[in-house]
Amino acid sequence: LNLAILLYTVACLLSTCLGVMTGRVDPKTGFFFVLKYVEYFILFFMVVNHVRDTAQVKRFIFCLLLTCLITCVIGMLQIPAGGRLTAPFEGERGEPNTFGGYLLFLGAVTAGILSQAGTTRTKHVLIGLLVAIIPPFLFTLSRSSYFGFIPALLVLGILMKKRVIVIGIFMLLLAVSPLFMPLQVKDRILYTFNQPQHHRQIQVGDVRIDTSTSARIRSWQEAIADWARKPLFGYGVTGYRFVDAQFPRVLTETGIIGLLAFLYLLYCTGKVALENLRVLKDPLFRGITIGFIAGYTGLLFHSVGANTFIIVRIMEPFWFIAGLVVVLPVVESQSSVEAVDATAAAAGPIPSVGSLSRSDRADGFTV
């Protein structure tokens, strides 16, 4: 991941500096936005360089999931008031889409750990957390989060041992979910296609798409058209107007150079996680990695309708767990060495040949 992180950081810096020189980017705004991106990678490197044992991993995961539980409780307290749920500390205008992406990722991590959990108590605690995540996730009314949920669920099933049975159960649950889904959630999903006719709607054949989604699609089309004027390095970070989708935003801000670097970063992230999953044996470590891969897949789809990979509340836990996933094989190897050393120490020193009794030196004894 080092080279991928370096290439993407350099692409952001270069495009933003060019934007500042041409007057498209405000120096202060551009500097702090790029600094925010770099901060995610600093967090990643902090984890990789300081996590060294299983106890640390357990403490960090506990704190991450406890934070998730607290935000879920705060979210559920908002349900009686009506409206879309948002995370704490978002000001007067919340960001339900952001909250939905956060719950999507942490829910996938929780489910991954649950799939490998050994003790009944651990399973009960994780099931309780998943139950707490579901209501606020649904009541964010975030269609991007719903869109990311299905592929995340499928990846979870594929990575489990009894994948055919698990995927079958997941598909059955999805099929019957409309029977139990809250009315607001069903209305939100159906609103995409049954909004009353409006002149700003995009129509594909006989299907009309609601004005919100239509406006997002038009913004993507305009962004791609404007990118053609600055194809290599784009307009610089914050040098182009707001685009509520990750990939068109990266393309317009950093050009084709930045987009290729960003895609390479995403590719390396997924590749490292899959490679580590193949070598890990510890159930907790495998569960974390499975959950990360599923959550990562969900966020890729979530980013179709949001700036997922630059949002603080999603990217800080994402890169934190990415750091854990990268270092888990080292931690597992170190734990194995320490276990062997502890066993050898408990067994005592190996006797030398000279200290063996006459009966120990029976025929066939080999040193």
Give the model's pLDDT for residue 288.
96
Give the model's pLDDT for residue 356.
45
User: What is the distance of C-alpha 339 from the center of its chain?
Assistant: 32
Give the model's pLDDT for residue 177.
76
**CA distance linking residue 216 with residue 244, whole number of Å:** 7
Task: Supply the pTM of this predicted model.
Answer: 0.87
**CA distance linking residue 78 with residue 138, whole number of Å:** 13
Query: Is residue 273 within 8 Å of 291, Cβ to Cβ?
Result: no
Q: Encode burial over 223-238: b for 16+ CB neighbours within 10 A, e otherwise.
A: beebbeebeebbbbbb
Q: Is 342 exposed, middle or buried (0-12, 13-18, 19+ CB in 10 A)?
A: exposed
Give the model's pLDDT for residue 214.
83
Query: Is residue 310 within 8 Å of 176, Cβ to Cβ?
Result: no
How confident is the chain (367 residues) per 10-residue block, as mean pLDDT? 96 95 92 94 96 94 96 91 81 84 95 89 93 92 91 90 75 77 82 75 76 83 90 92 89 95 97 95 95 96 92 95 96 74 60 48 41
Give the model's pLDDT for residue 244.
83
**Helix, strand counts (H, E) of the chain:** 12, 2
**CA distance linking residue 218 with residue 140, whole number of Å:** 24
Q: Is 295 exposed, middle or buried (0-12, 13-18, 19+ CB in 10 A)?
A: buried
Strand, coil or helix: 232 = coil
